[in-house]
Amino acid sequence: MRAKIIGLLGALLLLAACSSPPPEAPPAAPPGGPGGAGGIGSTNILPGSQQDLEASAGDRVFFAFDRSDISSESQQILARQADWLRRYPNVTVTIEGHCDERGTREYNLALGERRAQAVKNVLVASGIPASRISTISYGKERPMVVGSNEEAWAQNRVAITTVN
């Protein structure tokens, strides 16, 4: 427990020392697991990194079957992503659009692109320059979760914001 606290303090000190402001919320638990018996928790979240985005805002929004509309819950996540992007003006991102397996291959490539574009449109509308955001569709080719069931499919209908 003590090692965890030291690790946390260390991370905060490091962040405070940087010229960029600290992230919105300090990490609750270092993703790499608690610090070893011998020392300090070893996972610092680098500002402007993918982990930082995940921790601050969430890196993904989900979609209903065969749809690309952005839900109000997704709007909130994307608002936080936009805030985060304003905080790190040198960061560029690629929005990956994905689909579940319950559609035909080419249509899913197009649907993934439409989902990625829908996310991009929200971010651009929040004032992020379009030049900072590219899109790519993987259709149903790269499922996040394996399994032919509703839970897995819901996880795979997703647009993921990835830091370049």
Partner 1 sequence: MKKISLRFIGALIAAFAILLHSGAVRAELRIDITSGKIEPLPIAVPALAGGAPNESQAGQDLAGVVSADLERSGLFRPLDPRSFIQNVSVADAQPQFGDWRQINAQALVTGSVKTQADGRLRVEFRLWDVFAEQQLTGYGYTTTQQNWRRIAHIIADEVYKRITGEEGYFDTRIVYVSESGPPEKRVKRLALMDQDSANNRFLTDGRALVLTPRFSPTAQEITYLSYANGTPRVYLFNIDTGQQEVVGDFPGMTFAPRFSPDGNRVVLSRAENGVSNLFSLDLRTRRPTRLTDSQAIDTSPSFSPDGSKIVFNSDRGGSQQLYVMSADGGGAKRISFGSGKYGTPVWSPRGDLVAFTKIDGSSFFIGVMRPDGSGERLLTRDFLVEGPTWAPNGRVLMYFRQSPSDSRGHGGSPHLYSIDLTGSNQREVTTPQDASDPAWSPLLR
73 binds partner 1 (CB under 8 A): no
The Cα angle at residue 130 between residues 103 and 82, in degrees rounded to 5: 85
Size of the site for partner 1 (CB under 8 A): 32
Q: 11 near 27, Cβ under 8 Å?
A: yes
d(CA 93, CA 53): 11
Binding span for partner 1 by CB under 8 A among 9-17, 50-58, 70-78, 103-111: 103-111
Between 46 and 64, CB nearer to partner 1:
64
Judged by CB under 8 A, which of 71, 75, 76, 104 binds partner 1?
Answer: 104
Judged by CB under 8 A, which of 93, 113, 122, 157 binds partner 1?
Answer: 113
Q: Residue 136 pairs with which residues in a beta bridge?
A: 96
d(CA 35, CA 12): 16
> Please, what is the minimum distance in Å from the beta carbon of residue 80 to partner 1?
22
Give the three-class secondary structure for 31. coil
Using the Cα atoms of residue 148, residue 150, residue 151 and residue 153 in order, give the sign of their dihedral. positive
Q: Which of residues 132-161 bind partner 1 (CB under 8 A)?
A: 135-137, 141-149, 152
- Residues lying near partner 1 in the complex (CB under 8 A) are found at 66, 68, 101-107, 109-111, 113-114, 116-118, 120-121, 135-137, 141-149, 152
